[in-house]
Amino acid sequence: MIQLWMLALAVTSNVTEPPANSAAFDRIQALRAQELQELQAASRARQMQHELTVAAAQQQIEQLGQLPPRITQVGPALSEFELMGVVQGAQQLVVLKHQQQLIRLVPGQADTSGLVATIDSAHVRLQRGKEQRFLALPRGW
């Protein structure tokens, strides 16, 4: 009986004693803790990147859902204009066709007849006085 007790004591003392080379053991534990911290940081970075991607996608979806403001009044004079294109260069120009004549407008500036063109993400808005008309821009503009 005493021998069993001494054997049990010897086995438990070996388990509770630190390894002979505790400096190496401490170093290994520190490296493992550092590796776990790096893995957690990488995981958090991936999560934040995912959240950023989701937020950007939601913003794009919201922009697609936005409709142009309601046309308050389209006069017969504005309905005759046809959008030919928007020219990018040293200065933006909106090119319109009206009765076989090309008209070039600088966005935000009125021409001699008072016609003003403004550009948003998907439309060119023509306005003269209280009349306005929206002309859709081609995709990918």
- Determine the residue type at 84: M
Residue at a domain's end among 43, 65, 87:
65
Q: Is the pLDDT of residue 12 over 60?
A: no
What sign does the CA torsion over 76, 125, 110, 83 have?
A: negative
Is the domain of 10 the same as that of 51? yes
Alpha-carbon distances of 86 from 91, 106, 137, rounded to whole Å: 10, 10, 8
Rounded mean pLDDT of 15-30? 76
Is the domain of 45 the same as that of 92? no
Confidence at residue 29, expressed as pLDDT on a 0 to 100 scale: 93
Could you list the residue range(s) of the whole structural domain that residue 51 is in?
2-65
pTM over 0.85: no
Give 90 or 69, the one with higher predicted confidence: 90
Residue at a domain's end among 65, 89, 108:
65
Is the domain of 132 the same as that of 82? yes
Residue at a domain's end among 13, 33, 65:
65
In a 13 Å sphere around the CA of 71, the CA atoms on its Cβ side amount to 16
Rounded mean pLDDT of 108-113? 85
In a domain, 84, yes or no: yes
Q: Is the pLDDT of residue 89 over 80?
A: no
